Amino acid sequence: MSSDTMAVSPGVPDLVTSIKESKCVLFVGSAIHAPPPADSKYTYAEEERPPLGSGLAKMLAEECGYRQKLPDDPPTDLQRVSLCFETDPNLRRSALVDRLDKYLRQGKKPSAAVRMLASLPFTIIVTTNYDQLLESALIESEKKKRPVVTVYNPTSGKRADDPYNDPTIERPLLFKMHGDLDHRESIVITDEDYIGFVQRMSESRQSYPVPDTVLYHMTKWPILFVGYSLRDYNLRLLFRTLRCQIDPVNMKPTYSVDRSPDPLILKVWQDNKQWVTFLVEDLWTFLPWLFKAVHGREFEP
């Protein structure tokens, strides 16, 4: 997709307008940390970027002897590998979170892609990432934003906290849907964690884990997914459970930046159900374009 075709793709001009008006909900996934293509003018050193899901799974699998314990299973399934890791009597949950902190935080820096997103005028941001690189990029942005961070709590049985005041560009609401490294009890990573999370997502509004502010704005504004692949079963499940809380009449357009969407998922989710419009582009091409479309200037690395 070139910059010209991107601008005329279905819904893209409306999406840009919504972002300019700060009326778009942003979802950020782990693939936001993917390295730029070899021909990109941007760089992101390997030692500065967190490993993506399969890479993180391989690191954990090596430490817990996954291949020896489950030789027929691929060591790239993060949920299954992390469950194996935490059930090892010599490791347990505490060691699992320690490794996440080591691999996802120590020495890591936000990429140019993350900083581009942080510079855009989003006031409602949801992330399934445990790291704090997005927070750092928001704080270090030109506007020196001060995000109001709310973290999923798997044990409270109460609704997620909402900010006292309406989110603004300078004080955006950042909801960490799958936990945060500074809240060790909050991490959603194993198969069992995901089952518990989905169970919470199906509960009553009194104990629903997503803040009311997020749900309310999802009924009013378009949604942009960046750093996700809808081939991920858990993302589709998450999307469905979020939609269950919203009357279809009130559901606004949803966009997903995906360089290579699965043909079957595209057919079902875009062509048949018309739930998602896929923007078929690498995020390292799309985000510089979006930055310029919103700000009227090139992003300076």
Whose structure tokens read 């990029």?
Answer: 137
Q: How far is the C-alpha of 178 from the C-alpha of 153, rounded, in Å?
A: 9
Query: Each residue of 193-244: pLDDT tens digit?
Result: 998 888 887 776 667 788 889 988 988 899 999 999 888 877 787 777 776 6
Percentage of the chain beyond pLDDT 70 is 92
CB 111 within 8 A of CB 30: no
Give the contacts of 259 (CB within 8 A, at least 6 positions apart). Answer: 280, 281, 282, 283
* pLDDT of 89: 96
Tokens at 104, concatenated: 């996802």
CB 114 within 8 A of CB 133: yes
Question: Is 70 exceeded by the pLDDT of residue 3?
Answer: no
Predicted TM-score of the model (pTM) = 0.93
Domains and CATH numbers, the chain: 3-42+110-295 (3.40.50.1220), 51-104 (no CATH)
Which residue, 283, 260, 261, is CA-closest to 270? 261
- Region of poorest pLDDT, from 36-50, 112-126, 151-165, 282-296: 151-165
Query: Each residue of 20-40: pLDDT tens digit?
Result: 999 999 999 999 999 999 999
Q: How far is the C-alpha of 115 from the C-alpha of 136, rounded, in Å?
A: 9
The mean predicted confidence, pLDDT, of the chain is: 90
Sheet holding 254-257, edge to edge: 148-151, 173-176, 124-127, 25-28, 223-226, 254-257, 277-279
